[in-house]
């Protein structure tokens, strides 16, 4: 495998880092904190990226992109995740909602939805998991029933990130019952401001806006809101999950924090126990492994041949890296001295960065499909290959 970045991709990485330094405060740790100004920072930064053609670089020009290589888009993904994702929730629209609409949407759906995503003007949420259908997504019960020339949707979703602020929801519902539970599912694109939708936030240590319950009480949608073919939504969802899982480049954040540790500790780095420094070194190697697995999937996606086993292998590697690196970083942060002046500010930021990373890592092996389900997918892939 030769995944050496081109000169254009390397130059883009430098440009993105300059933009972050100029437009994102040093104490920014994500768009969804208790401080409303953090979301404002992310929204402004998204629009700035869009104006410079850096938000949806790999999209075709006709849909607001630059027809850049998938590797340039990968650079954007890595630099954003390394710096607490200053695009906010836009990664969802950029990484998989938009590409899925390009592949399965009508001309009208493309005209309606793609420009706002490319301009950084809209936030999407994902209506997948339910109280009794989390990792086993195909067991969902939210139902869409025919109502004249449209549909009525009733049911409940849970763990829905960004639902309190999203304008649109990428919703999966059951439209018929078949011999297999994966049959009879359909994707709907629905507005979140409909009075038939109720959002209830779920308090969690991840902070506000992340986790929510969403209730649909006879939501009326039209045929124009159906994405793809009725009853064949499961095939669409499989594509979505492949794009989503590789699009979350948490390895880039892990590597940045690990490499920042020696500077944060300063003279105390030499006092760190050899066993802990050895684990720190192994974590850097694990970052490299997760990065290469991500690059393998990106390369396959660019050729139109994504396999669930490959995305599962990457997801297992990056989520376990998330949690293992968080433990190492937390132990290293305990050695960071309190220092006055600029050095003290850098040390304080490192400790806060590590704390934020640890909190998010706790949900890593559950979000976007539990690690148990990823192992099942990988095992099926390996057995089928024999």
pLDDT in tens, 108-138: 999 999 999 999 999 999 999 999 877 788 8
Q: Is 124 exposed, middle or buried (0-12, 13-18, 19+ CB in 10 A)?
A: buried
Distance CA 324, CA 343 (A): 27
CATH number of 248-385: 1.20.140.10
**CATH architecture of the region 7-122:** Orthogonal Bundle (1.10)
Question: Residue 180's pLDDT is what?
Answer: 84
Task: Please tell me the predicted confidence (pLDDT) of residue 243.
Answer: 67
258 within 8 A of 283, measured Cβ to Cβ: yes
Please list the residues that pair with 197 across neighbouring strands.
216
Number of C-beta neighbours around residue 233 at 10 A: 26
Q: Where are the alpha helices (DSSP H) in the chain?
A: 7-23, 36-51, 70-82, 90-92, 98-104, 107-118, 233-247, 250-265, 274-302, 308-333, 341-361, 371-385
Q: Are 119 and 49 in contact (CB under 8 A)?
A: no
26 Cα distance to chain centroid: 22
Find tokens 């933009």 and name the residue: 19
For 47-71, how does the pLDDT look when each residue is reduced to its tens digit (9 = 90+)?
999 999 999 998 999 998 899 888 8
Q: If we measure between CA atoms, which residue out of 293, 295, 290 comes closest to residue 309? A: 293
Q: Are 117 and 73 in contact (CB under 8 A)?
A: no
Where do the structural domains in the chain lie, given as residue ranges?
A: 7-122, 126-231, 248-385
Residues labelled as active-site residues: 244
pLDDT at 324: 96
Q: What kind and span of H or E run contains 223? A: none
Give the Cβ contact number of residue 238 at 10 Å.
13
The dihedral sign for the CA sequence 51, 12, 247, 85 = negative
Is 126-231 the same fold as 7-122? no
Residues of the chain with pLDDT under 50: none
pLDDT at residue 46, rounded to an integer: 93
Superfamily in which the 126-231 domain is placed by CATH: Butyryl-CoA Dehydrogenase, subunit A, domain 2 (2.40.110.10)
pLDDT digits (tens, 9 = 90+) for 142-152: 999 999 999 99
Q: What is the DSSP string of 238-296?
A: HHHHHHHHHH--HHHHHHHHHHHHHHHHGGGGGGS-HHHHHHHHHHHHHHHHHHHHHHH
- SS3 (DSSP) at 66: coil
Sign of torsion over alpha carbons 181, 187, 193, 199: positive
Contacts 24+ apart (CB under 8 A), 133-139: 134/158, 134/159, 134/370, 135/369, 135/370, 135/372, 135/373, 136/373, 137/172, 137/237, 138/181, 138/182, 138/185, 138/234, 139/181
Q: Report the pLDDT value the prediction gives residue 3, as an integer from 0 to 100.
A: 63
């Amino acid at each position: 495998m030769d995944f050496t970045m081109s000169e254009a991709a390397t130059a883009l990485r430098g440009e993105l880092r300059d933009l972050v330094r100029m437009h994102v405060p040093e104490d920014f740790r994500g768009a969804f904190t208790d401080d409303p100004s953090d979301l404002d920072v992310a929204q402004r930064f998204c629009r700035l990226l869009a104006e410079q053609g850096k938000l949806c670089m790999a999209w075709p020009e006709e849909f607001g992109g630059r027809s850049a290589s998938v590797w340039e888009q990968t650079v954007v993904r890595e630099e954003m995740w390394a710096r607490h994702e200053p695009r906010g929730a836009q990664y969802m629209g950029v990484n998989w909602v938009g590409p899925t609409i390009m592949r399965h949407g009508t001309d009208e759906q493309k005209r309606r939805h793609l420009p706002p995503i490319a301009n950084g003007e809209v936030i999407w949420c994902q209506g997948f998991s339910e109280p009794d259908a989390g990792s086993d997504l195909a067991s969902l019960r939210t139902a869409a029933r025919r109502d004249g020339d449209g549909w009525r949707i009733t049911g409940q979703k849970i763990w829905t990130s960004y639902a309190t602020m999203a304008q649109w929801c990428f919703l999966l519902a059951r439209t018929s019952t078949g011999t297999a539970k994966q049959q009879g599912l359909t994707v709907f694109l629905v507005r979140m401001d409909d009075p038939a939708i109720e959002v209830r936030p779920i308090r969690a240590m991840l902070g506000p806006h992340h986790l929510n319950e969403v209730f649909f009480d006879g939501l009326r949608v039209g045929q124009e809101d159906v994405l793809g073919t009725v009853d064949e939504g499961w095939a669409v969802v499989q594509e979505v999950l492949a794009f989503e899982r590789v699009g979350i480049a948490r390895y880039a954040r892990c590597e940045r924090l690990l490499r920042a540790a020696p500077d944060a500790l300063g003279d105390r780095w030499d006092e760190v126990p050899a066993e802990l420094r050895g684990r720190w070194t192994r974590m850097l190697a694990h970052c490299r492994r997760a990065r290469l697995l991500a690059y393998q999937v990106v390369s396959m996606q660019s050729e139109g041949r994504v396999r669930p086993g490959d995305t599962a292998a990457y997801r297992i590697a990056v989520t376990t890296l998330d949690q293992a690196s968080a433990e190492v970083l937390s132990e290293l942060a305990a050695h960071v001295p309190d220092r006055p002046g600029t050095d003290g500010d850098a040390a304080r930021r490192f400790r806060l960065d590590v704390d934020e990373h640890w909190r998010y890592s706790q949900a890593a092996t559950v979000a976007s499909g539990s690690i148990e389900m990823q192992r099942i997918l990988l095992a099926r892939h390996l057995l089928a290959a024999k």
